[in-house]
Structure 1
Amino acid sequence: MEVKVKYELEFPIHVSPSLLYQYISTPSGLSEWFADNVNSRGEIFTFIWDDSEEKAKLISKRSGERVKFRWLDEDGNDSDYFFEMRIMEDDITKDVSIVVIDFAEEDEMDEAALLWENQISDLKHVLGSV
């Protein structure tokens, strides 16, 4: 199995941190832009795309600031990989951006970054922040 590499992407987004947080931390918010459907049972979130399904455990969150999910393997055990979305707000300009921390195999970094760009583009569209 290939080792995945951690990477970080930042996207400016013109929306209030509290509204943005609703879209990155709730099943209904996430299903608007991140996956076709998202269900949660306690801290376990199920992300559904077309014909695939992935489960992740919500391992930390701070209201209005960040959420962090750890992917689960087929047996429901924690994997080594997580993804995190952080909301950053510049103290002076009040510009808001979303920082994504994720993992990808080295030869899939460009593809992974492009996927997130598309996802965040959908998020901006849903928020009316195009």
Structure 2
Amino acid sequence: MEEKVKVQIEFPIHASPKMLYNYFGSASGLSEWFADNVNSRGEVYTFIWDGAEEQAKVLSKRSDNKIRFKWLESEDDDSYFEFRIQVDELTKDVSLMITDFAEEDEVEESKMFWENQISELKQLIGA
């Protein structure tokens, strides 16, 4: 099995951390921009795109700051995807940091996927 590489992308977003967290820290928030529909039962979230379902488990969560998921179907124990809010101490600028893992030949594809999703999010919150 091919080793996956860590992909980290920073998206500056004009929104308060609390407001931003609402869009990725809950199933209802995620279903507004990340997938067609998202349901959660405890720590397991079901993401639905075009009728296909994928499940992810919440590995860790910190209110108004970050949430880390692991795809249940992933055979790679070290891979996960994470949304984390970073606030610049001086300027107070808010960024959404995305961490994901992709196979080496899929890194650009992964970045494009996140850029598309985050532009949806930005439109939604008018950022």
Query: Normalising by structure 1, what TM-score?
Result: 0.92
Deviations 1:4-51 (A, max 9, x none): 111110000000000000101101100001000000000000000003
Identity rate of aligned residues, in percent?
60
Counterpart of 1:3, as a letter, is E
* 2:119 aligned partner: 121
Structure-1 separation of matches of 2:7 and 2:75: 20
SS at match of 2:35: coil
TM alignment of 1:1-130, pairs within 5 A? 1-73=1-73, 79-80=76-77, 81-129=79-127
Counterpart of 1:66, as a letter, is K
Structure-2 separation of matches of 1:2 and 1:121: 30
Aligned residues: 126
CA RMSD, 1 decimal: 1.3
Structure-1 separation of matches of 2:83 and 2:28: 16
Q: Is the 8 A contact 1:39 1:46 kept in 2?
A: yes
Structure 2 stretches lacking a partner, 5+ long: none
Query: Normalising by structure 2, what TM-score?
Result: 0.95
CA change 1:89–1:12 in 2 (3 A) is: same
CA change 1:43–1:101 in 2 (3 A) is: same
